[in-house]
């Protein structure tokens, strides 16, 4: 029996589009990648998604939890000072690129979407002249991996107009659908009951990321008496390794709920009227997407990107920025009650925060990636 020949490319075109996500390391890289993965599967249920990661990253837990395939490669962190690690960097890059090429070949990748971080650079180098690349930069100041990737990428997407990558398309930061679809007003009663607040409470939400922030903890906990006197309830996630020193509350005080970690951020956002938080890209994206006014306190290290992340929301009227060293108990006591007890001002900040957000960012990145992949197949 004579075999039937299949035209070149037809077998591949009959399979679902294969997309490789390179965003391992921190939650700031993994969460946008997972939000885009969810958007991709919603747009095209046949899409095949593979996430790249390293053994040391959060993706080893987060990616399998979301039901996506994970391939591990050698991490390529850039040492910040001369060391033995810097000398070993070229060898690590070559090894990681070789491993990534094997992944791209094994899944017949149609497009790579890079979000920066340890796995992005090997992905960009492995994909060069083989697989089209879409780069997404979440921060207001691009990291070195995305600067390399942007040079040969077909599309460069970002959260802000000028992250240092040349010409970009502003789409915002991809956020999971559970947050972007959150109706804070509809969920408020349930959320407040969950944390033990009354329906008419004025609620301040305090969080410093998954590990907490000691400067935020000290400042807000130190202002607890003043906040209570102003009738303000507090929901404070202090971090699993931190503790709060709080005075013994009086019977008439509103609740000060202190927890190590919030695993229901949707309920926390719905319960709150105002947040005091850091201004990492994911934090700003989520807080503005749900329309929550915030006092942003940029991390005082790095290249200043956290301040830049918050500025678009602040300039729109959805919050304010306070330097870490200026966030004292006296500042909290003198500023927060005025914000929370000004109903008209708080409503205006809420509207401005929502307008400054990009709740459709994940879908937009997914649409662009699918367009690039389909174009490459044609």
Q: Are residues 158 and 298 in the same domain?
A: no
Q: Are residues 326 and 276 in the same domain?
A: yes
CATH of the domain at 329: 3.40.50.2000
Can you give the residue range of the structural domain that contains 325?
Answer: 182-356
Q: Are residues 209 and 170 in the same domain?
A: no
Q: Are residues 279 and 327 in the same domain?
A: yes
Tell me whether residue 3 is in a domain. no
Q: How confident is the model at residue 6 (pLDDT cuts 50, 70, 90)?
A: very low
Q: Are residues 222 and 307 in the same domain?
A: yes
Separation of alpha carbons 328 and 334, rounded Å: 10
The token duo for 350 is: 């809420």
What confidence score (pLDDT) does residue 201 get? 97
Q: How confident is the model at residue 79 (pLDDT cuts 50, 70, 90)?
A: low
Q: Are residues 157 and 257 in the same domain?
A: no
SS3 249: coil
Average pLDDT, the chain: 90
CB 151 within 8 A of CB 144: no
Number of domains the chain contains: 2
What confidence score (pLDDT) does residue 88 get? 64
In total, the chain counts a number of residues equal to: 378
Least confident of 140-144, 197-201, 216-220: 140-144
Nearest to 176 by CA among 274, 71, 282: 282
**2-6, 118-122, 199-203 — which one is most confidently predicted on average?**
199-203
For residue 361, pLDDT over 80 is answered with yes
For residue 7, pLDDT over 50 is answered with no
CB 223 within 8 A of CB 332: yes
Q: Are residues 156 and 16 in the same domain?
A: yes
For residue 351, pLDDT over 60 is answered with yes
CB 192 within 8 A of CB 201: yes
For residue 28, pLDDT over 50 is answered with yes
Q: How confident is the model at residue 378 (pLDDT cuts 50, 70, 90)?
A: confident
Buried b (16+ CB within 10 A) or exposed e, 324-356: beebebeebbebbbebbeeeeebeebbebbbeb
320-335 residue pLDDT tens: 999 999 999 999 999 9
Tell me whether residue 5 is in a domain. no
Residues 260-264: what's their mean pLDDT? 90
Q: For residue 170, how far is the Cα from the chain centroid?
A: 16
Tell me whether residue 121 is in a domain. yes
For residue 80, pLDDT over 60 is answered with no
Q: Are residues 95 and 231 in the same domain?
A: no
Q: Are residues 222 and 347 in the same domain?
A: yes
DSSP alpha helix (H) spans, 44-151: 59-65, 84-106, 120-127, 144-150
For residue 48, pLDDT over 80 is answered with yes
For residue 189, pLDDT over 60 is answered with yes
As a whole number of Å, the CA-based R_g of the chain is 23
CB 212 within 8 A of CB 240: yes
Residues 1-12: what's their mean pLDDT? 42
273-319 residue pLDDT tens: 999 999 999 999 999 999 999 999 999 887 788 999 999 999 999 99
Q: Where are the beta strands (DSSP E) in the chain?
A: 18-22, 48-53, 69-72, 111-114, 133-137, 155-158, 169-170, 202-207, 232-237, 256-259, 274-277, 294-296, 319-321
52-73 residue pLDDT tens: 999 887 888 889 999 999 999 9
What confidence score (pLDDT) does residue 13 get? 53
Local structure of residue 241 (DSSP, 8 states): T
List Cα–Cα distances, 258 to 163, 212, 220, in angstroms: 36, 12, 11
Share of the chain above pLDDT 90, in %: 73
Q: Are residues 364 and 306 in the same domain?
A: no
Q: For residue 105, how far is the Cα from the chain centroid?
A: 29
211-242 residue pLDDT tens: 668 999 999 999 999 999 999 999 999 988 88
Q: How confident is the model at residue 1 (pLDDT cuts 50, 70, 90)?
A: very low
Q: For residue 279, how far is the Cα from the chain centroid?
A: 10
Q: How many CA atoms lie within 13 A of 22 on its CB side?
A: 35
Q: Are residues 130 and 196 in the same domain?
A: no
Q: Are residues 99 and 200 in the same domain?
A: no
Tell me whether residue 50 is in a domain. yes
What confidence score (pLDDT) does residue 14 get? 61
What confidence score (pLDDT) does residue 84 get? 54
């Amino acid at each position: 029996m004579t075999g039937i020949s299949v035209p070149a490319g037809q077998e591949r075109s009959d399979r679902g589009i294969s997309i490789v996500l390179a965003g391992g390391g921190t939650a700031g890289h993994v969460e946008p990648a997972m939000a885009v993965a969810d958007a991709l599967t919603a747009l095209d249920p046949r899409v095949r998604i593979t996430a790249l990661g390293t053994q040391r990253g959060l993706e080893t837990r987060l990616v399998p939890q979301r039901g996506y395939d994970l391939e591990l490669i050698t991490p390529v962190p850039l040492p910040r000072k001369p060391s033995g690690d810097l000398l070993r960097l070229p060898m690590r890059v070559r090894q990681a690129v070789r491993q990534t090429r094997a992944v791209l070949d094994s899944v017949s990748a149609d497009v790579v979407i890079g979000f920066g971080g340890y796995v992005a650079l090997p992905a960009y180098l492995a994909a060069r002249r083989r697989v089209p690349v879409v780069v997404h930069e979440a921060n207001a100041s691009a990291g070195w991996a995305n600067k390399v990737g942007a040079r040969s990428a077909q599309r460069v997407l970002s959260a802000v107009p000028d992250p240092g990558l040349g010409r970009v398309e502003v789409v915002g930061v991809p956020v999971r659908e559970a947050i972007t679809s959150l109706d804070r007003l509809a969920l408020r009663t349930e959320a407040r009951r969950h944390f033990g607040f009354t329906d008419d409470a004025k609620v301040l939400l305090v969080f410093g990321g998954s590990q907490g922030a000691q400067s935020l903890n000290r400042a807000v906990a130190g202002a607890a008496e003043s906040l209570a006197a102003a009738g303000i309830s507090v929901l404070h996630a202090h971090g699993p390794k931190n503790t709060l020193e709080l005075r013994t509350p009086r019977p008439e005080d509103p609740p000060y709920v202190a927890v190590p970690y919030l695993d229901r951020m949707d309920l926390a956002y719905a319960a709150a009227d105002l947040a005091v938080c850091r201004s990492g890209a994911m934090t700003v994206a989520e807080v503005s997407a749900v329309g929550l006014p915030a006092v942003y306190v940029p991390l005082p290290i790095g290249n200043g990107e956290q301040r830049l992340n918050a500025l678009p929301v602040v300039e729109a009227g959805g919050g304010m920025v306070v330097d870490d060293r200026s966030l004292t108990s006296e500042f909290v006591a003198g500023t927060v009650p005025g914000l929370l007890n000004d109903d008209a001002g708080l409503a205006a900040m809420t509207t401005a925060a929502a307008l400054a957000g990009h709740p459709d960012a994940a879908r937009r990145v997914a649409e662009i990636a699918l367009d690039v992949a389909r174009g490459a197949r044609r």
